[in-house]
Amino acid sequence: MTSTIKFIENNVCAAKGFSASGIAAGIKKSKKPDLALIYSQVPATAAGVFTKNKIKAAPLLLTKKHVNLGKLQAIITNSGNANACTGKLGTQHALQTVKHLATQLAIDPKLIAVSSTGIIGVPLQIETLLNGIPQLSTELSETGGSAAAKAILTTDTFIKEVAIQVELSNGVVAHLGGIAKGSGMIHPNMATMLGYITSDVAISSNALQQTLTQVVNNSFNMISVDGDSSTNDMVLVMANGCANNPLIDDLNSIDGQIFYNALLTVCTNLAKQIAHDGEGASKLITVNVAGAKTDKQAKLVAKSVISSSLVKAAMFGNDANWGRIACAVGYSNAGIQQNKLQIAIEDLLLFEKGMPIVFSEEIALELLQKTEVVINIDLGLGSEKSTAWGCDLTYDYVKINAAYRT
């Protein structure tokens, strides 16, 4: 059974029982918003997916422990400082943050997730952060989602938020909303990004974790800006059950599939916003791979092409250099066959069955000058497909990262 998904104007506050806030606590030198809070009226079923980088930030490690207990009620995030590679002091600061907020909200500290994003290796200005928590808590509001979305940004150029509503099989209308940050250090494998999704659906812990893991593999893990993965990345979901639907405990049930599609819609939307906002980017790149033998093969090719610096540079230069795309397909270790490969920009065929195609450079230029460039690849081997998203590689990317600490 399918259910119509409707986009609505909102974010993490779209789901019943959720509020949020965002303030400028003074952590950032720029005095821009740098402290965010998402709060549920009641403890919510929680799930999380975390960076695969072997170096992990202190707040992430603490949050992972809390998420593994199955419930969360609040998520606090600071930007401007990653609190990563800061030793025992970093762990202490993460614990202090959680304990201070727990006292302020009168909830169990184990119901709080904490995350940080920003410069690595610099001790967190903990007193500044703690002093901001009373105001952060006081300003919690059902309209505070955009403020929270703004407070988690670093080099992002715009806030990333989305909300939908969906009807479950018994007629109950449920809501999902999300905010995210990410602009640089983005690469398939849970990259430098934070994503927070809320829902009022009633769902078991195991079902929520399984759904999130599958969804992330088809959304956030399919984006690439620059090939770097961070120490702080996480995607968290809180589902508080305030929609009062019968508990979803089976992913293969009708409501299990409806929820999967709804969560995939939210995460894909946020992932594309992150890719579009890649540091210095001028356009979004979508790579569609079809004709694969397996889902794994399709993903390998899509990730290889979207991660190629040469492909990204060609897209920035509006150059229909299909050779760079073919090269990335070839080194993907996906077991492709050159004589069956087809490459196109939208519907403009460039390469087919091992041979280049004579194409109009004028039409190619027109397609490449769009704000979204679509590369279509057909492996000619099967019926599986996958999509990855990224952005072009521009001069501004180097400028931004050459002076990140200053």
230-250: per-residue pLDDT in tens?
Answer: 567 899 999 999 999 999 999
Nearest CA to 387 among 258, 293, 285? 285
Active site residues: 192
pLDDT at 399: 74
State mean pLDDT over 286-306: 96
DSSP classification of residue 279: T
Report the DSSP beta bridge partners of residue 80. Answer: 118
Identity at 323, one-letter amino acid code: G
Greatest mean pLDDT among 115-124, 235-244, 268-277: 235-244
pLDDT at 406: 53
> 3-class DSSP state for residue 149?
helix
Rounded to whole angstroms, the Cα distance separating 15 from 35 reads 21
What domains are there in the chain, each with its CATH number? 5-276 (3.60.70.12), 284-402 (3.10.20.340)
The whole-number average pLDDT for the span 106-114 is 98
Residue 15, pLDDT above cutoff 80: yes
pLDDT at residue 144, rounded to an integer: 98
**Of the candidate ranges 84-98, 122-136, 365-379, 381-395, the one whose mean pLDDT is the lowest:** 381-395
**pLDDT digits 0-9 by tens, 351-406:** 999 899 999 999 999 999 999 999 999 999 999 999 999 988 887 777 766 765 55
Q: What pLDDT score does 191 carry?
A: 44
At 36, list the tokens. Answer: 């965010």
Tokens of 41: 């009226």
Mean pLDDT score, 26-42: 97
pLDDT in tens, 165-199: 999 999 999 999 999 998 644 444 444 589 999 99
Predicted pLDDT at 226? 47
pLDDT at 2: 66
| Better-predicted residue by pLDDT, 112 or 119 | 112
Kindly tell me if the per-residue pLDDT of 93 is higher than 60.
yes
Q: What is the pLDDT of residue 37?
A: 98
d(CA 290, CA 386): 7
Quote the pLDDT of residue 52: 80
Task: Give this prediction's pTM.
Answer: 0.88
Question: Which of the four pLDDT bands, split at 50, 70 and 90, describes residue 51?
Answer: confident
**What was the pLDDT predicted at 398?**
73
- pLDDT of residue 227 exceeding 80, the answer is no
Burial class (CB in 10 A: 0-12, 13-18, 19+), 262: buried
Q: In the chain, pLDDT over 70 holds for what percent of residues?
A: 93
* Tens digits of residue pLDDT in 313-341: 999 999 999 999 999 999 999 999 999 99
First-to-final CA distance of the chain = 53
Tell whether the model's pLDDT for residue 298 goes beyond 70: yes
Q: pLDDT over 90 for what percent of the chain?
A: 82
Q: Which of 55-59, 152-156, 309-313, 400-404 has the lowest mean pLDDT?
A: 400-404
Average pLDDT score over residue span 25-29: 96
3-state secondary structure of 380: coil
DSSP classification of residue 247: P
Inter-axis angle of helices 87-105 and 126-138, nearest 10: 20
Residue 53: how many other CB atoms lie within 10 Å: 20
Mean pLDDT of 218-231: 70
- Tokens 């590679």: give the residue: 85
Q: List, in sequence order, every beta strand (DSSP E) within 189-328.
A: 194-199, 223-224, 234-239, 284-292
Report pLDDT for 185. Answer: 45
Q: Which amino acid is at 184?
A: G
Compute CA distances 76 → 67, 90, 128, 136, 270, whole Å: 14, 16, 14, 9, 19
Which residue, among 188, 192, 244, has the nearest Cα to 387 in the 3D structure? 188
Which residues, at least 6 apart from 217, have a Cβ–Cβ distance to it below 8 Å?
none
Closest CA to 316 of 389, 384, 211, 393: 393
Report the alpha-carbon distance of residue 248 to residue 170 in Å, rounded: 12
- The whole-chain average pLDDT of the chain stands at 92
d(C-alpha 127, C-alpha 104), whole Å: 15
Q: What are phi and psi of 42, to 5 degrees?
A: -130, 155
197 bridge partner residues? 178, 237
- Torsion angle defined by CA atoms of residues 102, 106, 111 and 114, in that order, rounded to the nearest 10 degrees: -30
